[in-house]
Amino acid sequence: MSTQKIAFIGAGNMAAALIGGLIADGTPPGDILASDPSAERLTALAGSGIRTLDSNTAAAGQADVLVLAVKPQLLKAVCVELADTVQQHRPLVISIAAGVRTSELADWLGGDVALIRTMPNTPAMIQCGATVLFAGPGVNAGQRDAAEHVLRAVGLTRWVEDEGLLDAATALSGSGPAYYFLFMEAMEAAAVELGLPADTAHLLTLQTALGAARMAMESSDSPAILRQKVTSPGGTTEQALKTFEDGGLRDLVERALTAARDRSKELSRILGQD
């Protein structure tokens, strides 16, 4: 995979995370290119040894794998700009832009393009991401491997065979970090109300979240089984969980994810309009 040239169109936070992950994973910096209108962003990336350009078409013309890492509302203009170059050089195109479907991307790029659409989440910026991928028509096994090479550099990857499921993935893992931040925020505030110093409440909340996540990741038990194992009958944990259940936590979570999924679908329709 290291013989392939990987070009990033856009050099924002997610592109920088992917580039850093690729280099840490052993990809030679000289095999990575990035273009961006911001000289400041390019200067920051140049320190890693990659090649930087201020021309999208120049970067795309050298790419075996072309990663579209621009804001969704800018994607159409960027694709139209790159269409002739993509048609001539035929790279694998990977989009990490939320909401824009492969059918629109293919149209904007001139048609008959090997396209993979992905949904990484923000923990990718610390190489702890969760990315869902969907391959458009005509993407071969080698190109799937190339996409995984890029995205696995910042965390785990999972494929879906129905593009519509990316909306569900957006609701779960794409938006999911914010759900946990909200829950941690609420736990901290409640602990302070119970009398703990703010700094102690903060550190205990973070370490508890980290410990629970690591236990879940490293255990073969489901979250339900783990919950049962740490819940003593008649104890404090049981009382807290009963309060959550009585308050309709499960229904609230389902409604929240459904709302996020529906908004993802709505944004896809908006972004796909001319």
Judged against a pLDDT cut of 70, whether residue 239 lies above it is answered with yes
User: pLDDT grade, residue 270 (50/70/90)?
Assistant: confident
Q: What is the pLDDT of residue 274?
A: 53
Tell me what the mean pLDDT of segment 178-189 comes to: 98
17 is written with which tokens?
A: 């995370």
Judged against a pLDDT cut of 60, whether residue 261 lies above it is answered with yes
Sequence length of the chain is 274
Judged against a pLDDT cut of 60, whether residue 126 lies above it is answered with yes
Q: What is the pLDDT of residue 269?
A: 86
Judged against a pLDDT cut of 50, whether residue 87 lies above it is answered with yes
Judged against a pLDDT cut of 80, whether residue 129 lies above it is answered with yes
Domains and CATH numbers, the chain: 6-161 (3.40.50.720), 176-267 (1.10.3730.10)
Q: Residue 208 phi/psi, 5° resolution? A: -65, -40
**Model pTM?**
0.89
* pLDDT cut 70: percent of the chain above it: 99
241 is written with which tokens?
A: 């969980």
Tell me what the mean pLDDT of segment 42-68 comes to: 94
User: Is-contact 123 103, C-beta < 8 A?
Assistant: no
Q: Which residues in 39-68 are b (16+ Cβ under 10 Å) and which e? A: eebbeebeeeebbbbeebeebbbbbbbbbb
Tell me what the mean pLDDT of segment 40-61 comes to: 92
Q: What is the pLDDT of residue 2?
A: 46
Q: What is the pLDDT of residue 47?
A: 87
Choice between 202 and 271, residue whose per-residue pLDDT is larger: 202
Residue where the block lists tokens 């109300």: 193
- Mean of pLDDT over the chain: 94
User: pLDDT grade, residue 98 (50/70/90)?
Assistant: confident
